[in-house]
Structure 1
Amino acid sequence: MAKAAMKGTKKAAAKPAAKAKATTAAKVSAKTAKPAAKATAKAAPKAAANAAPKAAAKAAPKAKAKSAKKPGLKLSMLRPSVNNMTVRVFARAAGFDHAETDAWGLTRTPEFLARNPAHLTPMIEDKSLPRGVLWESCAIMQYLANKYGLDKFYPKAPAKRAMVDSAMFYLIGTLYPYVARATYPALGFPQYAGEVGHSDAHADKKSEAQKAAAAAIAEPLEVFHSFFRDGKPFIGGNNPSIADIRLAATLEFLAVIDYELPKWAKDYMAAIEKKLGKAYAEPAGDVRGYIAHVKAQAAA
């Protein structure tokens, strides 16, 4: 009986001990859980705070791209001119937010001459320029491409840029003078001092000079095809460069004398217009409209 009593006593004592252990464990667990919950609660805002900048950083480029503003540009121009057409096409193709002022009849005014004593268009206004203005179509395109990093139109790589420069200078120094001599008399444009068309030479001599200039166009034109393009779609490669824009605009004038362009030149001009779309078609439309007007007047 004593043994049984002892066993019962031990069992009874074990139960409270087990309960005590369980209670103690529960309390410890509760105490541990509270700090853990607090730590989790504290960590949650930190994690959210850390995640927020990352999410914002990912979203930032998209928001920035949408809010990016186009560079502003003030341009004085003459609609019938291919020199002016060049910069008008470039400004559109490059995405400038430009304002055009028609300077027809204004280039000899005191106000215009005070800013531009050469009385030439196209002309841009830019406060960062030493004199606030810049004329000459090629110089304008080079300046804007350099300022805004428009490598697509004017490559930075020295060798590629040299070819674009060479093509433009060859055009200005060799091809364009022939085009001007051949087309200006028909367009009714005044020619430069010293030119046959500007002199007192007999009309027959002027006509001969005009025909000689038209005949001379074929040789330098072929140089652009065989040398500067060299099997590529454009002088600039797969995309039109500023030299391509200048060349295509120049060739627009030849329509006034019904000059028969070689097939490659026709395809080349069509490819540029297709590539640049409205950026080319709209300014070209002004030149073509003027040429059509001149030809209609001559036929009347």
Structure 2
Amino acid sequence: MVLKLYHFPLSSPSRAAYMSVKAVGIPADIIIVDLLKKEQLSESFVKINPQHCIPTIDDDGFVLWESKAIACYLAEKHGRDDLYPKDLKRRAVVNQRLYYDSSMLYPRIRAINYPILFQGVKEIKKELADDLNVQLGFLNHYLGESKWVAGDEMTVADIAIAASISTVMAVGWDFSAFPNIQKWFSNCETIPGFQDNMEGAKKFGDAVRKNLE
């Protein structure tokens, strides 16, 4: 059976899963679940994923959610050791960068955007902006040591973080203090599915900026 990806293009994690599918190079049936219309709460989707979150994959009956778990699973299943290295130390660095995005970078981005989109907030609070810039400083440091976020080859960590960074870039964030991120992000154009990612990020950014007006 063809892999099913339940996807919403405005969602950063979902775009990461989409790019992972493209990077691994496998066919997939892309099924759009509109989070703004709360389609993830439909009875049919909750039967598939009781946590009702996007992205979700169905790989011939094996259902998995969380974008980073999806990326690692697909890379391992299809033998893409370049995307998710088997070497213990290289994989540990990739995992560290994935966990950094999950626990540090993306939560700061979400803390800024979610209240604007869904809670009527009309400004970006300085303390939240400062907190995000601290995390961007760490990423800028990583990228001063290697071409990609976890070494000299593109991995699933770059895919995940590219989705996060494209989201905050689309909102109009100032990256002038982070030249290494800017250089790396230009390289990210080679990631399969990256332009589709940018289209989704732009729609997300447009929605956030509209609510700030």
Q: Give the TM interval when normalised to the shorter protein.
A: 0.7 to 0.9
What is the Cα deviation at residue 170 of structure 1?
Answer: 1.4
The alpha-carbon distance between structure 1 residues 178 and 297, as it changes in their structure 2 partners (threshold 3 A), is closer
Change (3 A) 1:177 1:296: closer
Q: Answer whether contact 1:182 1:211 (CA < 8 A) is retained.
A: no
TM-score, normalization by structure 1: 0.63
**Contact kept in structure 2, 1:167 and 1:224, CA below 8 Å:** no
TM-score (norm 2): 0.87
Is 1:243 aligned to residue 157 of structure 2?
yes
In structure 2, do the counterparts of structure 1 residues 172 and 111 end up closer, same or farther at CA, with 3 Å as the change threshold? same
Alignment of 1:2-13 (within 5 A): none
Q: Distance in 2 between matches of 1:113 and 1:126?
A: 17
Greater share of helix: 1
Paired residues, number:
208
Task: Tell me if 1:263 matches 2:158.
Answer: no
**In the aligned structure 1, how far is the partner of 2:118 from the partner of 2:156?**
25
C-alpha displacement at 1:293, in angstroms?
4.7
Write the distance in 2 (CA, Å) between the matches of 1:296 and 1:126.
Answer: 37
Q: Which position in structure 2 is the counterpart of 1:216?
A: 131
Cross-structure match for 2:188: 272
Q: 1:291 to 1:100 in 2, by over 3 A?
A: same
Bigger Rg over Cα: 1
Percent identity, please.
Answer: 25
Provide Cα deviations, 1:273-293, integer angstroms capped at 9, x if missing partner: 1x22x5211222122133235
Does 2:148 match 1:234? yes
1:74–1:100 CA contact under 8 A, matched in 2: yes
Deviation at 1:176, TM superposition (A): 1.5
**From 44, 48, 55, the counterpart of 1:115:** 48
Unaligned ranges ≥5, structure 1: 1-70, 191-196, 198-202
Is 1:92 aligned to 2:25, yes or no?
no
Higher relative contact order (CA 8 A, sep 6+): 2
- Say if 1:259 and 1:102 are closer, same or farther in 2 by CA, change over 3 A: same
* Cα separation, partners in 2 of 1:102 and 1:287, compared to 1, 3 Å: same
Could you give the per-residue CA deviations for residues 185-230 of structure 1, whole angstroms, max 9, x where no partner exists? 33x147xxxxxx9xxxxx6xx957x331111112222222324x45
Letter aligned with residue 147 of structure 1 = K
Equivalent residue, structure 2, for 1:38: none
CA pair 185-253 structure 1, distance change in 2 beyond 3 A: farther
